[in-house]
Structure 1
Amino acid sequence: MVCQFFVMGAMTMIIPFLPLYLQELGVTDPQSISRWAGVIFGANFLTAFLFAPLWGKLADKYGRKSMLLRSGFGMAIVITLTGFAVGPWSLLLLRLLNGIISGFIPAAIALMSMSTPKKEMGHSLGMLQAGGVAGTICGPLLGGIMADLMGFRMIFYVTGVTILIAAFVVLFFVDEQFVRKEETVKTKTMQDFKKIISTSPVLSLFFVFFIVQCALIGINPLLSLFVQELSPSQNVAFYAGLAMSVMGFANMSVSPFLGKLSDRKGHHFVLLFALLFAAIISFPQAFVQSYWHLLIFRFLLGICIGGLLPAINSLLRHFSPEGMESRTYGFSNSFMYLGTMVGPIAGGWIASVAGIRSLFIISSVLLFLNVLIVKYKVIPHMKTKKDMPGTKVNKGVTIGSIKPK
């Protein structure tokens, strides 16, 4: 949880002012800023999407802690170098390199999921997410304040040092009881993928993850421009950071509660209703005329997000083939990274043509599509997975609590 806090706090320091940093690097045309911001933000996730299965396979082979250390020390170096960018192209190349060696958060999720009893999976991952989200609260606020006081480049240096501290915390204080399982047959990445998605509803959950990231992350790189439109002032970076932090505060507040609720009622139950409410709350953001109205809706959206990712990760843990858990998370993270790449890039182009407000409407439609996928492609398979926490039989007794006679 401490490492999640440091890493997410460091990474989210950058997001509120990325379009503003591009202005400092010489990009002045409003449409060019929207497109460059989307491409540069998404570039990190293009290479992360390509390399995530490799890191997942190595995690199953050498342990999850080793992947945490690889990612932590690597990102600390690359993000520090990002502060020396001289133009949009050099910034783009450094973001691509950062995506190659990233993967700290997925490795932490895999390590936690393998170290936790299944009946407490939702609560465990909810607590882990709460630690990360606490970082997302502090990160944008601190990033916005430091950007206004010290300039944008200093944020990258602070981010690099912060992630370096998190890597040392893992090195000295995180222990993993890893037992390597020898594979009798060496498999290729596509063979692993086919075996994993042969277990229903894993592929559907991958698509849910992809759409969630497209819908929610596609707006983030351009949020500072929307805040600038609603509340023109000299402290745009701070107000943009506050709009992201308020989501994180709501997320952190409800994640442990929704995690416990998913352990009792079922992860699919929390996932379905969190998606439904997120879809409903996203739509009116397209029509707000006040910064403070936007802040309220972002807070409500943060409450919904608090139930999404822990529920998806818990379901993936339960449906993943035995001995392939990290690889399942690796492919899941590929879909997540793909969504995080496609969302901002598509969002940048759409915003340059139809305006930023149109992104909120598209986000709402995508989340409603996810509701249908969960209802018709995920929930029907829950009846066949008898060891799922929250599956009720005979007066509310959980299947997992019944002892054989």
Structure 2
Amino acid sequence: MEIWRRNLYILMASQFLVMGAMSMIIPFLPLYLKDEMGVTDPEKTQLWAGLIFGINFLSAFVMAPIWGSLADKVGRKIMVLRSGFGMTIVIFLMGLATSPLQLLILRLLNGTVSGFIPASISLVATNTPKERTGYALGMLQSGAVSGSIMGPFIGGIMAEVVDYRTIFSLTALMIGLATLVVTFAVKEVSKPEPAQERAGFLAEGSHIFHRKPLPILFSVGFMLQFAMLAPMPQMSLFVDQLGAPGGYLAFFAGLVTAVTGSANMLASPRLGRLGDQFGSDRVLFFAMLGAAVSFVPHAMVTSVWQLLVLRFLLGLCMGGLLPSLHSLIRKNAPRGKESTAYGYSTSAVFLGHMLGPITGGFLAGWIGIRGLFLLTAGLLVAGAFWLRSGLRRSAASESRRASSGSRHVSRRVVNSS
């Protein structure tokens, strides 16, 4: 098997394990605070759960560009291992925490050392032939999404069988095993080139943001995550409003999320392959428009079954979003700075992950969740045309620069003659 294919399949399986392990914790986090740490006041439990959940993304948002820059200097595989073994230790310690403050500090530290997923994306993107990058990143997306679907389900079952602290130990074990597999089975062929002198972190960041297509792609990444997650905290309430069949509210609320993820998982490799054939920019543009069109009838549904069909269609469109975005970043990043570019992209996505649910919850109080669906659709349409116009302006600028350079060379040739 070709090395890039072997790397892809191993990292895909590893992402499944890591995302599954990480999301196993989410369903019982409030119960862990209540039963193991004695936080019995419901308001305090929700407050601590929100802080502990969100602080991980805050520290990851800050650290992602730093780890990306370091990956371009020392290698991408070592960043995968750093993150994997670091999270293994920190999550094991979470199972030993005795107070909400200790758990909060450990989640902050977990976000600081995290980065397994973006480091894997960077490793695959830089070690895969350019003509297969879209397909490879789509496969990675499938592995991560399938893990995030199965994780809460498995975590909920395990919480009924073993105590909460044991689940943290098992989560750490899964991440550790995935990292060990990467250690011995993944080979980094395309390694950072040695350089006598490298620019500092701020200079590298300035160089990235002056690369015209990249800031546009970062803003689109933020917009995608913001738009997709803004309605999510309200979905269970919406299912309740529609009337869950048989009164199984928790089941159908989970099914609404699972059916979207399942469609995403199925569509990602196929849309990635289409991106390799026809251009990732086209796939991303039409996937954003498709997602927007899917959101509009969300505001008009009258039953949970209608909502499930629309969430499946939305998931199919979502399969073309982040893999296409990552492929475009790989294409436009300066040579040798791919991981730095992915670091900034990851920060933008994490920022959308933090602000989307908060803003969506606030706006839902004013316009309701049906109005929020329409607002999300409008945001995706605006983002799609912002992407297209931005990339066209960038391409036109590059064409003018190349033409100017050609004229300059021709002038020098004539003068020398």
Which bracket does the TM-score occupy, shorter chain normalised? 0.7 to 0.9
CA contact (8 A) 1:140 1:244 kept: no
For the pair shown, the structure with the greater C-alpha radius of gyration is 2
Q: Is the contact between residue 145 and residue 238 of structure 1 (CA under 8 Å) also seen in structure 2?
A: no
Q: 1:13 is matched with which residue?
A: 24
Give the partner amino acid of 2:146.
A
Provide closer, same or farther for how the CA distance between residues 235 and 105 of structure 1 changes in structure 2, counting only shifts above 3 A. farther
Partner of 1:293 in structure 2?
306
User: How far apart, CA to CA, are the structure 2 residues paired with 1:385 and 1:161?
Assistant: 49
2:337 counterpart residue number: 324
* Cα drift, residue 84 of structure 1: 5.0
SS where residue 307 of structure 1 aligns? coil
**Shift of the alpha carbon at 1:40?**
3.8
**Mean Cα deviation higher: 302-311 or 156-165:** 156-165
Relative to structure 1, is the Cα distance of residues 20 and 182 closer, same or farther in structure 2, using a 3 angstrom cutoff?
same
Equivalent in the alignment of 1:108: 120
Counterpart mapping for 1:338-349 below 5 A: 338-349=351-362
Q: Is 1:28–2:36 an aligned residue pair?
A: no
Point out which structure has higher relative CO (alpha carbons under 8 A, 6+ apart). 1
Give the paired residue count: 384
Q: How far apart are the structure 2 equivalents of 1:69 and 1:10?
A: 16
Q: 8 Å contact 2:126–2:190 — kept in the other structure?
A: no
The runs of 5 or more residues in structure 2 that have no matched partner are 1-11, 400-417
1:42/1:345 contact within 8 Å kept: no
Contact 1:3 1:170 in 2 (8 A): yes
Per-residue deviation at 1:181?
A: 2.1
Which of residues 277, 298, 309 in structure 1 aligns to 2:322? 309
For residues 115-154 of structure 1, the C-alpha deviation after alignment (integer angstroms, 9 at most, x for no partner) is: 1111111111112222222223322332333345556655
Structure 1 contact 140–241 (Cα < 8 Å) conserved: no
Partner of 1:206: 218
Rate the CA distance shift 1:106–1:84 in 2: closer, same or farther, 3 A: same
1:66 is matched with 78
Counterpart pick for 1:265 among 269, 278, 284: 278
Q: Report the Cα offset of residue 378 of structure 1.
A: 2.1
Q: Aligned letter for 1:268?
A: D
Q: Is 1:94 aligned to 2:106, yes or no?
A: yes
Q: Once the 2 structures are TM-superposed, how far is the Cα of residue 39 of structure 1 from its aligned partner? A: 4.4
Quick one: structure 1 residues 22 and 73, their matched pair in 2 at CA, closer, same or farther if it must change by over 3 Å? same
Distance 1:209 1:135 in 2: 21
Range 212-221 or range 10-19, more displaced: 10-19
Over 3 Å counting, the alpha-carbon distance change for 1:239 and 1:158 in structure 2 is farther
Q: Which runs of 5+ in 1 are unaligned?
A: 387-405
**How far apart are 1:359 and its partner, in Å?**
4.5
- Cα 1:10/1:353, change in 2 over 3 Å: farther
**1:11 to partner: Cα distance:** 2.3
Q: Any residues of structure 2 matched to 1:103-252 within 5 Å, and which?
A: 103-147=115-159, 150=162, 155-220=167-232, 223-224=235-236, 226-227=238-239, 230-231=243-244, 238-252=251-265
- Taking the aligned partners of 1:40 and 1:211, their CA distance within structure 2 comes to 24
Distance 1:311 1:341, change over 3 A: same
Between stretches 75-84 and 150-159, larger displacement belongs to: 150-159
Q: Determine if the alignment matches structure 1 residue 275 to structure 2 residue 288.
A: yes
Check conservation: 1:42, 1:340, Cα contact below 8 A: no
Worse-superposed segment, 371-380 or 329-338: 371-380
Q: Mean alpha-carbon deviation: is it higher for 6-15 or for 222-231?
A: 222-231
SS at match of 2:321: helix
Percent of residue pairs bearing the same amino acid type: 48
Deviations along 1:301-353, whole A, 9 cap, x unmatched?
Answer: 21111000111011111111111111111111111122112223334444577
Structure 1 residues 49 and 360, CA gap change in structure 2 (3 angstroms): same
* TM-fit CA distance, 1:243: 2.8
Which has more helix, going by share of residues? Answer: 2
Instruction: Find the aligned partners of 2:245 and 2:160 in 1 and give their Cα distance.
Output: 15
Deviation string for 1:56-82 (max 9, x for gaps)?
111111111111111111212323343
CA deviation vs aligned residue, 1:16-37 (integer Å, no higher than 9, x gap): 555666676435249x84x665
Q: Which residue of 2 aligns with 1:403?
A: none
**CA distance in structure 2 between the partners assigned to 1:334 and 1:107 by the alignment:** 13
1:365 shift after superposition: 3.2
The offset of 1:263, in angstroms, is 1.0
Equivalent position to 2:380, from 355, 358, 367: 367
